Amino acid sequence: MRRSALPVLLGTLACSAAVACGESGTGTTPPAPKVATLKDPGVTNSSAALDAGATAQNGKDDLDAGAEWTGPYAGALFLQTPIMSDMEWPRPPGDADDMKKRAKSDDPRDKVVRLGYMRQGARVPVLPEAHKKSNCAEGWYELVAGGFVCGKYASIDLNHPRFKIAPHLPDMTSALPYQYGYNVANGTPLYRHIPSREDRLQLEPWLNKKKAPPKPREDADTAASPVSSQSPSIVATAIPVGGTEDMMDAGVFFATARSGSSDGRDGRMMLEENPYDAGVAVPWYLRDYDGGKPQGITLDDLKGEGPVARRMVKGFYLALDKEVPGGGTRWWKTVGGMLAPYDRIYVQKPVSEYHGVWLRDLPSKMGDAGQAPTADEKAEGKPAKWPGLGFILYPRAKKYIVSVDHKHVNPGDSVSRFTPVRLTGDSVVIGGLRYDETEDNWWMRGNEGTHTDPGAPPDGLAPFEKWVDVNLTTETMVAFEGVNPVYATLVSTGKRNFEDKEKDHPTPPGTFRIREKHIAATMDGDVASDSPYSIEDVPWIMYFNGSYALHGAFWHGNWGHTQSHGCVNLSPLDAKAMFGWTEPHLPEGWHGVMSTTEHPGTRVVVHGEAK
């Protein structure tokens, strides 16, 4: 009976790592090119070695940070291999009364918690002895960093077939842990295995094609082309090359690079004939949406049968493992083990290489120490002790020169978008426009940028305790150690629509703690006013309030403006920097980590109101 809780645990783990911003979440604890990494010189990067904090979690000092382990390793055999605090599985959740009773119970199944998990192909140092129990016949292995894994889901035999076929590990040295691909057309199938040619022709009817007709001469009458003579409801929409429609928010710029096409036709495919009899409903992905998105389709409608695991809506993103040959063509194998037709996927280019700044790398004439405002100062409207940073948002912004009497202003040299500038705290209004003085003796015009404006520290803050301030009004984030700001950047929070609630995605204000962290996890969801969305392995996720998280966003570069479905979007470099800086730290080899009572997550304070 004790083993019956495992499917529930694994299901809960999968859900906590695949929930979308703004969807309902339990909020419980737990159950959740080469570029610079923006590593804080004063912070240990958990991707470099098992950090001392994680090792101390179970009171161990067997492996010092950076020391070479000479004992056995346990390799993860499944996409999510749970790491438990004890050699037990938790009982399935019960009602409120039952949970109260369990809180006082001495049953180890009521005390055990998930500490985190490993992803297939990862390995961690373990003690050599396997502890066999009825709930894990293969035996439990104790991790040197703390925690236990069941031998059914991890093996010390690193030649195990499931370990050998694992996708490549996340890249912890780059801005993104994986390479990503953009699905360019509706209906692209994700196969469980390489299909036969016959199956492909049936499941991908656009492959039943004939050569596109030549372009008609301007001086001749031309008959209707074979395509235009067909019913538009059965003609596959042409696939544009290098489109600019973002599946998350229409109109947001993103860049793609075509991964290739086996037939040299830039991915444009046409049906040779209608494969469906009269009266038979045409599949959603073959209908004409007049350039728009398919309406009324849900994620459940995308589930496949037989060799097809599911189909994709145009704009879905995949995490790519590698290119593989098979069936006379090429495929993209995803990190999740599925196969996508090569010529239906564009490899995503970085949209923006923007990142914020460690304040120690942007010297100030005024200093930063002890500069967080107090609650009383904020309530009384007193100016903040820390003047903060300004960020340029307008692409054609200028450095302005204000006269000594503060009555006249003249534009000076240009200043690049996203430039961070130190402010002095002085501002003037000239001609109805606000100007903020910078430490470099020029003025930033208010409507050409934004500035940090952190709130008061949370109650009960310990000296030098880490916390994160997110200002919805200014779309900025500041990381603090106690009252000392250490990092500042631009963010993109929930996009507002005060006229249509279905399109209104506010980021809820409040004081929270990071509940769980994932190197990468899928975010997807159904949007009533739009088609569904799905992004595999969204990078550097830090859940802090139900399904709301701080996370990296590689699909847009709209920093300093609202953009998301409710989460706090960070540039990939910013998200990676905060992922390594915040608590709980991720031990080496783990893919996700949960906060615990003994090791709580970093506090996140969200305040203000998005415009």
Q: Cβ(597)–Cβ(482) under 8 Å?
A: no
Instruction: Give CA–CA dist 237/206, Å, rounded.
Output: 10
**Residue 149, domain member (yes or no):** yes
Closest CA to 283 of 198, 204, 200, 197: 204
Q: What was the pLDDT predicted at 561?
A: 97
Question: Are 382 and 436 contained in the same domain?
Answer: no
The predicted model gives 582-597 an average pLDDT of 97
Q: What is the CATH number of the domain that holds 432?
A: 2.30.30
Q: What was the pLDDT predicted at 43?
A: 39
The gap from C-alpha 472 to its chain's centroid, in whole angstroms, comes to: 19
Q: What was the pLDDT predicted at 377?
A: 61
- From 57-61, 112-116, 234-238, the region with the lowest mean pLDDT: 234-238
Question: Are 149 and 82 contained in the same domain?
Answer: yes
Q: What was the pLDDT predicted at 2?
A: 38
- Maximum Cα interatomic distance, the chain, rounded to a whole number of Å: 89
pLDDT at 510 over 50: yes
- Given pLDDT bands bounded at 50, 70 and 90, which one contains residue 92? confident
Given 422, 449, 476, the domain boundary residue is 449
Alpha helices in 95-249 (DSSP H): 96-103, 161-164, 197-203
Given 298, 318, 348, the domain boundary residue is 348
Q: What was the pLDDT predicted at 36?
A: 39
Q: Over the stretch 277-325, which tens digit does the pLDDT of each residue have?
A: 555 678 999 988 887 788 889 999 999 999 999 999 999 999 999 999 9
**Residue 527, domain member (yes or no):** yes
Q: What was the pLDDT predicted at 295?
A: 85
Given 320, 348, 376, the domain boundary residue is 348
Give buried/exposed letters for 385-403 (b at 16+ CB in 10 A, else e): bbbbbbbbbeeebbbbebe
**Residue 379, domain member (yes or no):** yes
Percent of the chain's residues with pLDDT above 70: 73
Instruction: Give CA–CA dist 527/22, Å, rounded.
Output: 11
Q: What was the pLDDT predicted at 385?
A: 76
User: Which residue range is the domain that position 85 belongs to?
Assistant: 48-164
Question: Are 419 and 303 contained in the same domain?
Answer: no
**Residue 587, domain member (yes or no):** yes
Best-predicted range by mean pLDDT (235-244, 371-380, 412-421):
412-421
Q: What was the pLDDT predicted at 97?
A: 67
The predicted model gives 579-595 an average pLDDT of 97
Q: For the chain, how many structural domains are there in total?
A: 4
**Residue 35, domain member (yes or no):** no
Question: Are 366 and 488 contained in the same domain?
Answer: yes
Q: What was the pLDDT predicted at 341?
A: 98
Q: What was the pLDDT predicted at 31?
A: 36
Instruction: Report whether the peptide linkage leading into residue 584 is cis, meaning its omega lies within 30 degrees of zero.
Output: yes
Closest CA to 206 of 254, 151, 267: 267
- Given pLDDT bands bounded at 50, 70 and 90, which one contains residue 50? very low
Question: Are 418 and 511 contained in the same domain?
Answer: no
Question: Are 593 and 456 contained in the same domain?
Answer: yes
Question: Are 298 and 418 contained in the same domain?
Answer: no
**Residue 398, domain member (yes or no):** yes
Q: What is the CATH number of the domain that holds 486?
A: 2.40.440.10
Closest CA to 605 of 495, 493, 473, 479: 479
Q: What was the pLDDT predicted at 60?
A: 45
- From 96-105, 217-226, 421-430, 489-498, the region with the lowest mean pLDDT: 217-226
Question: Are 427 and 500 contained in the same domain?
Answer: no
Q: Over the stretch 559-582, which tens digit does the pLDDT of each residue have?
A: 999 999 999 999 999 999 999 999
The predicted model gives 154-171 an average pLDDT of 97
Q: Over the stretch 103-159, which tens digit does the pLDDT of each residue have?
A: 778 888 888 999 999 999 999 999 999 999 999 999 999 999 999 999 999 999 999
The predicted model gives 59-72 an average pLDDT of 65
Instruction: Give CA–CA dist 331/200, Å, rounded.
Output: 13
Q: What was the pLDDT predicted at 288?
A: 85
Question: Are 414 and 462 contained in the same domain?
Answer: no
Per-chain mean pLDDT for the chain: 81
Q: What was the pLDDT predicted at 291?
A: 76
Question: Are 364 and 502 contained in the same domain?
Answer: yes
- Given pLDDT bands bounded at 50, 70 and 90, which one contains residue 423? very high
Higher local confidence (pLDDT), 44 or 137: 137
Question: Are 328 and 476 contained in the same domain?
Answer: no
Question: Are 311 and 458 contained in the same domain?
Answer: no
The predicted model gives 331-350 an average pLDDT of 96
**Residue 169, domain member (yes or no):** no
**Residue 130, domain member (yes or no):** yes
